[in-house]
Amino acid sequence: MRDAKPRASHFIAGAYAEDEQGDVIEVIYPGSGEKVAQVHSATPEIVEQALTAASSAQTAWSAMLGTERGRILRRAAEIIRERNRELSELETIDTGKPLQETLVADATSAADALEWFGNLAASLRGEHIQLGKDWAYSIREPLGVCVGIGAWNYPTQIAAWKGAPALACGNTMVFKPSEETPLCALKVAEALTEAGAPAGVYNVIQGRGDVGATLVSDPRVAKVSLTGSVPTGKKVYAAAAEGMRHVTMELGGKSPILIFDDADLETAVGGAILGNFYSTGQICSNGTRVFVQKDIKDAFLARLAERLKGITMGDPLDEAVNYGPMVSEAQLKIVLDFIEKGKAEGARLVTGGKRVGRNGWFIEPTVFADVADDMTIAREEIFGPVASILDFDTEEEVLARANATPFGLSAGVFTQDVTRAHRIARAFQAGSCWINTYNLTPVEVSFGGSKLSGVGRENGLAAIEHFSQLKTVYVGMEGVDAPY
Ligand code: NAD
């Protein structure tokens, strides 16, 4: 295998850093189960160095013109685009997602975020408010040092989706990737530094939950942006509250896709495929509860099973492969357990259901039909390639069932009836909804969850609100009229 590894575990104050006293975190290539690299978890000294670097750099970074900050972000976007193949290969090694996917979905998405927020940096501003002869104005200010904590499914993208708006607003960042996928964020830090980001503006340190927890409770930290599971989100939100820190929580989901009998069948099947099997099902916004109107259920299931035969499973670094393994053996076991529960609770296995007999953490794409709302596979996030198909009769009924979940990340509807499509989008209890498509998340559009799926939004103009704050200044023009 080509050696695309970063040079050390951490990236602090503009350079790679190492402290071999930190626990070893092994990097296993999910396509073979082989160890391909290792990093060291951050020791207290490394955590201190990173937070000191980020705090020291923040004042000067925020004092730079937005135009200059933006230029650096856009240059980093160009560097990342030039290195797309190398970064995509690293993303594939880290996550096991097929190179066919990573070439178009990961470094490219990171570059889009850096470019888009880079373009915005010069336009950030407050407002002027006339109050008779007095007046007031507002100043949009950065929050300070921000901590980013990533999940393992999109390590390059998450590092940039958090870093780009944070830096555009004049904040600095300490980013901790998931311990499952520690490599890619280091390359984002490298690109930013080569693009001219001053030392300390964007730092990456490795570690498990304990390192994340240390960062979240440090008094120098003004904001925490987490991508992870709901249980971790609850802990991080609570810890951040101690210091009244700002938070963005991008958490899990159990999102519905509603397919009406007037939908274009191929489009709907395509949406269900994207919403359940892309990235081997390891996507937070996946539509894993697929509600299909009863009279098209058989046709839908037949076409879905047929199209899943088009999957090419194999070494994810082979560009002909379009379906990879799970990220880790642990995640593979979690998914197999859910499949057993699905069978035990009476769901009908249409296709898949088994581990694949080859090295690496491969599992067949799995479809259950006749799933009932109260089954475990219809209630809990699986985070693997397991689609649950549920039947429905009426719009009113399916909407109530779709919303009957504590999660609220995403939702989709497939129908040719334009009025119904918008009526349903309006009624969905979810942060990101799609009509006649699924799982498209361009940087221009804000993304995030409601209910247990999260707080705050990434991407779009909304992200600026979550990485900056307004200071208001009231200007008295006529002397002070005090009562005594
Ligand atoms: P996880 O919750 O196990 O870990 C997420 C991150 O939090 C890791 O970096 C981990 O080290 C860190 N962490 C764990 N405990 C911590 C603590 N007490 N304090 C601070 N940090 C801590 O999640 P995961 O298994 O890496 O990722 C899968 C989950 O992420 C799924 O639930 C998925 O839905 C969710 N996810 C959400 C989005 C989104 O945008 N909404 C995107 C991708 C993944």
Q: Which residues pair with 176 in a beta bridge?
A: 149
Tell if the pTM clears 0.95, that is, is over it.
yes
List, as one string, the DSSP characters of 416-460: S-HHHHHHHHHH--SSEEEESS-----TTS-B--EETTEES-BST
CA 414, CA 392: separation in Å to the nearest integer? 14
Which residue out of 101, 284, 381, 433 is catalytically annotated?
Answer: 284
pLDDT band at 2 (very low <50, low <70, confident <90, very high): very low
Ligand 1 center from residue 440 Cα (angstroms)? 21
The predicted-structure confidence for 352-397, as pLDDT tens digits, reads as follows 999 999 999 999 999 999 999 999 999 999 999 999 999 999 999 9
The verdict on the CB of residue 162 being under 6 Å from ligand 1 is no
pLDDT band at 4 (very low <50, low <70, confident <90, very high): low
What's residue 128's pLDDT? 98
Contact 391, 297 (CB under 8 A): yes
Side-chain half-sphere of 163: how many Cα atoms within 13 Å?
40
SS3 387: strand
Contact 399, 387 (CB under 8 A): no
Residue 429 is given by DSSP the state: -
Instruction: Kindly report the average pLDDT of the chain as a whole number.
Output: 97
Exposed/middle/buried for residue 483 (C-beta within 10 Å: 0-12, 13-18, 19+): exposed
Contact 345, 373 (CB under 8 A): no
162 catalytic, yes or no?
A: yes
What is the distance of C-alpha 224 from the center of its chain? 14
Residues constituting the chain: 484
Nearest residue (CA) to ligand 1, atom 42: 284
The predicted-structure confidence for 176-220, as pLDDT tens digits, reads as follows 999 999 999 999 999 999 999 999 999 999 999 999 999 999 999
CA 147, CA 169: separation in Å to the nearest integer? 14
The predicted-structure confidence for 39-69, as pLDDT tens digits, reads as follows 999 999 999 999 999 999 999 999 999 999 9
Q: List the structure tokens of 290.
A: 């697929």
Residue with tokens 């009908």: 348
What's residue 3's pLDDT? 55
The predicted-structure confidence for 280-293, as pLDDT tens digits, reads as follows 999 999 999 999 99
Q: Which residues pair with 188 in a beta bridge?
A: none
pLDDT band at 1 (very low <50, low <70, confident <90, very high): very low
Q: List the structure tokens of 224.
A: 């925490």
Plot region of 439 (φ>0 → left; ψ -120 to 50 → alpha; else → beta) = left
Nearest residue (CA) to ligand 1, atom 35: 228
Give the H or E element holding residue 217.
none
The best mutation among 95, 229, 380 to test binding of ligand 1, ranked by most ligand atoms within 8 Å of the C-beta, falls on 229
